[in-house]
Chains A and B, each alone.
Chain A
């Protein structure tokens, strides 16, 4: 080894590289600085350089020509005038940077009435108003509700009455479909075209619109999925042959039995009647994994098998789950070691990477069911401040605002190419593994039910309670609850949505 190679090796050992260096959030911090530090435009720089060159030449002339002594005061006056011009220019709206659409840049947003089904928890609401919307050139009057039903009903009512008071609405894609189907949304195709000049949206999140192919009525804002959060203490109890990130439902049950040896049930499900998301677990995970469907196979033989497995799972699940609307506290207290929930509801545990990991939900005989909730932005027809609403959409899809929303609401940004920090980075990994799984059964929250969506989900929760908690006869319960579901779907006139095959007309339970 040459002396040079030896020095190289010695330096690498003396100053070793470490995992995690530089910090994963370094780019985020830099971009936050960058966003807070708009710089002079190229024109101003060029002007400055030209002025410098002129002054240099003037100084050289003065050195040999005393007749030009009047020049310094004039030049000083000119310099003051130019600097004043530059300063005024700097105070004008900030220069165009990524995420800024030029036609909006100089337009104040005015008052924008913004309705959302997201960020209704106090902390999230504060994050929206203090971080996500702060700095917008206008007044965004942000209002959120726990469910979308009221927002959908209000907008449809206003459309029918021929007037609108809402400028911008943020709803999950399923809820938005009710507005889109009713022709209640403005065409945002031109806006999307302009936004895509600066930022990229995944093609899978852009759709041609339900009514007119090629027309975009919504702009994606945020997305989220559901996952298993695992305390690292639980890894030692895994059944032989089971891999924590490729579990089956049977292995999860077996794992739960083994973990009971630690003194108590260690699996948790958010099964509280008020606020728990157990209905999403059934619609997006259990049913698709066993039946390949969300709705049409509701009472199929595969569904009966699924409920038997869930019955077994419940026997090793913490009974306190029936009062848990979110699994974060139970995970962080150490009572629960393995829990399924929405990524935003376990953000506290996931932020503690020393204790917890995020893994995909289990798979069943029909594949690995998973649900991605996409929150879209849309402008109701005849919105009083359409320009302001467009400006706010442009603002909300800027990289910096996407990261701010991701941090405040614990959703994942939709704009591509952003560097995510924990815990959203882990959540994004799980989301990606769902998409890349060859056995994936991708689902969406119920689509097209509009104001009936909440009643629809309530039937799934009731079915869970009757079969799993109260141990009622599976086939009888499924037949009775299927009739209720069918009545709701018929009332909304909703066609099937993925993974159920959509055909013409209303979706029918087999």
Chain B
């Protein structure tokens, strides 16, 4: 549920107050950026998505149901924006860019986890977003459900499916080595 301070801020945002929106949004930006990064695995693209999601939330604040918290609603918009970004032709092109062979040492840590990132990145969106929210953002099932507009049972189903696919993908990677 939304507390009285948040309700007052949302009411002011509905009236078009920019400063109230900044106050409402600022604490959520790190979380939104992490969610976008978890989904896209690209910090620049993730920031762009958060920026676009924030503008979209501002324009569509009327769609936020009375009494509903801004946080899950905004994170839902971020997740949707990330899905759209991955569908774009530029995203498809950018993921085809070859990885350089002479990777500097500083990136070794990054490469160690390449298999896991690839496996998460290949999950269908509906499973990936549930996995990222619950395991990467450490969000309780109730909050994941609120963000995705699902019941808790639905979230559990997606997480279990996602975990099964991840396990299969990671085992396949190990066999390939």
Q: Which residues of A contact B (CB under 8 A)?
A: 4, 7-8, 10-18, 21-23, 26-27, 29-31, 33-35, 37-39, 41-42, 45-46, 95-99, 198-199, 399-400, 417-419
Contacts and interface: CB of A to CB of B under 8 A. Distances in A.
Contact of B16 (A10, A15, A33, A39): A39
Contact of B19 (A18, A41, A45, A417): A417
A199 B135 contact: no
A417 B23 contact: yes
Contacts of B51: 26, 29-30, 33
Contacts of A29: 51
A394 to B, nearest CB: 13
A198 B59 contact: no
A198 B17 contact: yes
B135 A8 contact: yes
B18 A7 contact: no
Given A27-B29, A41-B16, A15 B21 contact: no
A419 B22 contact: yes
Contacts of A38: 16
9 contacts: A7-B163, A13-B113, A15-B37, A31-B18, A45-B62, A96-B16, A98-B17, A98-B20, A399-B18
Contacts, number: 115
B25 interface: yes
Contacts of A15: 37-38, 41, 113, 117, 136
A298 to B, nearest CB: 45
Interface of B: 12, 14-23, 25-26, 29-30, 33-34, 37-38, 41, 43, 46-47, 50-51, 54-55, 58-59, 61-62, 109, 112-113, 116-117, 120, 132, 135-136, 138, 163, 166
Contact of B29 (A13, A26, A96): A26
Contacts of B21: 31, 34, 98
Contact of A37 (B26, B55, B163): B55
Nearest to A25: B47
A12 B135 CA distance: 9
Nearest to B47: A22
A33 B21 CA distance: 12
B138 A8 contact: yes
A26 B55 CA distance: 12
A198 B41 contact: no
